[in-house]
Amino acid sequence: MRKNICLVMACLAIGSAFAEAGKSGITDRQVSVVGFVDAGQLVRGSLVYGDGSEATTTPLEDLFLNRNGIALTYSGTLDERLRMNIGVGGLFYKPVASNPAHEPAEYKRISFGPGISEASAQYDFSRHLNVKFGFFGYKYNPDAVNLGEYLLRSEAYPGIIHTGSSGGWVWMNSNEYKSLGTKVSWTSLNGMLRHDFLMYSEFNDQPLFDFSPSYVATLKVMGAFEFGAGVSLHRWLPIQPSWTTPDDPQHSNTYVEVKNFPAYPALNSSLSHQSGFSGGTWKGMGSQITSYTYADGITHIATELHDASGGLLYEIVDSTGTPIDTLKASKTEKLTFKAIKLMGRASVDIASLLGMDGKSTGPFKAFVEVAVLGVQNQPYFYEKIQNRIPLMLGVDVPTFGILDLLCLQMEYFKNPYPDNSFQQFTNALPQPQLPGGNVAEYEDNLRAGVYDHDDLKWSLFVQKNLFTGLDLYAQVANDHLRVQNNLGEPSSMPLTQGKSDWYYMLRFQWSM
């Protein structure tokens, strides 16, 4: 029903705009064309399309990265108040196979992906108030060129951060969130304070089309300081509530607590991988409890049952398979994608404070952004809020005319789970993906410090205008870069996961 209402409203708005265009005509028509060529190399990294187990991980060195893109945009203004933008484009890219050394035939050809770069309309009620709707990008942090922009360009449960465009279609010079939605902007205090009220529909990550009401405020002080803050009610208006808070029949998304659960032995073999349990209250996801076995690797300790009211029960057996007890789950709770995300940022124009001429020195600024990706704790996976707080620091270094921009950014995100979107993308569950789906293997990796290697990210970004209409961009980074397979599906994990992983990328971009 909601989908139909949104479709009818969109059709009425578009029809009204065309009717007005027929009456008064469109002025200020413009057509722009932008093309680019990206070329670079993953010097060191790895590729994961699956669950992050050894079988799905391919170490990579000196992998050539290249893609070409183009976008054609038409814009026009109606009655000096309604401005419309329509953009289409395409991307030529080479899919990256799970094992590039032995890639199948479908990976040995160039793929093409057409798309809409923008389809939006903005109506100016006054110079202080406007509304924009359609498919368009939004950027609240003008200083962030790669890392940052966490409020909208991230997931909370699980904690997934993107760089470039979501899904990895655009690798660099695209630090914004782009989706279908509406934005109302209002400025006050002579333009010093701007309020952005946003209603975006999720267009990139599962579950699709959930609406997230958001608010972002930006305050400029004394010409040298800028402060920003925002809140996003992430997925609070779901299209399908049972997708946003999954109620799967296998209870893999249901947290349970079972008292007096018996001890079971550790088992590490080709058959299974589990940790020993000393007995007492068992805590975890419902589907995990039925996966534990005795030392033979065959006999399951617990089998899931239900009482007359549908409550969870577990039949416990001994090592011979003989039933010995029936235990009831004392607590059950479904995990959800819904979250309250917060953001705060600040920047200082050092050149302005020192009385330097920014045009001759180039940008000289320092900036910071911090976010909370989910204020609420959820059981088992998300019990510590400090594990959901990314912090980004950046500085624009003056080059005195040699470059137009030289920006260094650093990010710290103490996420104790793999930066893996497989569980969300494939199974649409609000959970981190554990290697092989195995809790014990994950805990072994956690104790070994495997998931500390990607806590620190960094990026060096350079921009230089070569000629009118021709720009050069360069980026060297260890960030959240993802690539596509032959089906257009993004890699589950970034190419750079270890401390010593990095890549470099050049872009030549022309416009007319």
Q: How confident is the model at residue 360 (pLDDT cuts 50, 70, 90)?
A: confident
Whether pTM exceeds 0.85: yes
Tens digits of per-residue pLDDT, 484-499?
A: 888 888 999 999 999 9
Q: How confident is the model at residue 269 (pLDDT cuts 50, 70, 90)?
A: low
Mean pLDDT of the chain: 89
> What confidence score (pLDDT) does residue 271 get?
52
Q: How far is Cα 293 from Cα 44, in angstroms, rounded to an integer?
A: 39
The length of the chain is: 512
Tens digits of per-residue pLDDT, 58-112?
A: 899 999 999 999 999 999 998 889 999 999 999 999 998 887 777 888 888 899 9
Q: How confident is the model at residue 361 (pLDDT cuts 50, 70, 90)?
A: confident
Tens digits of per-residue pLDDT, 450-470?
A: 899 999 999 999 999 999 999
Tens digits of per-residue pLDDT, 141-162?
A: 999 999 999 999 999 999 999 9
Tens digits of per-residue pLDDT, 391-419?
A: 999 999 999 999 999 999 999 999 999 99
Q: How confident is the model at residue 429 (pLDDT cuts 50, 70, 90)?
A: very high
Q: How confident is the model at residue 3 (pLDDT cuts 50, 70, 90)?
A: very low
Q: 10 Å Cβ neighbour count for 182? A: 16
Task: Provide, rounded to the nearest whole percent, the portion of the chain with pLDDT above 70.
Answer: 94
Beta strand residue intervals within 189-307, DSSP E: 193-201, 211-221, 225-234, 254-261, 267-268, 273-274, 280-285, 302-306
Q: How far is Cα 496 from Cα 412, in angstroms, rounded to an integer?
A: 15
